[in-house]
């Protein structure tokens, strides 16, 4: 992608993520922004950014709440 296409993609991603943050990750309220994000970014990038958001949210949760093992974690 050209520099302009990358900027458009990142802008659409940022708008979509901000919408999710405002609506407690309710994707239904951000459908139009999601569609714009998917149309402006290569599919592989969308997949990467989705995983990155999940990782960043998980990391933030670990930093604020600490590690909380599930009951099944120690049983094998």
Predicted model pTM: 0.79
Residue 69 lies in a domain: no
Residue 11 lies in a domain: yes
CA–CA dist 65, 28 (Å, integer)? 27
Residue 21: which domain range?
1-44
pLDDT of amino acid 73: 56
CA–CA dist 76, 67 (Å, integer)? 19
Residue 30 lies in a domain: yes
Residue 71 lies in a domain: no
When divided into structural domains, the chain yields a total of 1
pLDDT of amino acid 42: 97
Q: Which of 51, 9, 16, 50 is nearest to 31 (CA)?
A: 16
The rounded average pLDDT for each run of 10 residues, N- to C-terminus, in the chain (76 residues) is: 96 97 93 97 97 94 79 59
Residue pair 68/76 in contact (Cβ under 8 Å)? The answer is: no
Residue 24 lies in a domain: yes
Residue 9 lies in a domain: yes
Residue 26 lies in a domain: yes
pLDDT of amino acid 72: 61
């Amino acid at each position: 992608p050209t520099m302009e296409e990358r900027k458009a993609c990142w802008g659409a991603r940022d708008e979509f993520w901000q919408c999710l943050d405002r609506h407690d990750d309710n994707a239904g309220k951000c459908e139009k922004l999601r569609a714009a994000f998917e149309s402006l970014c290569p599919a592989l990038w969308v997949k990467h950014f989705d995983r990155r958001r999940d990782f960043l949210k998980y990391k933030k949760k670990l930093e604020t709440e600490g590690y909380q093992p599930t009951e099944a974690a120690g049983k094998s």
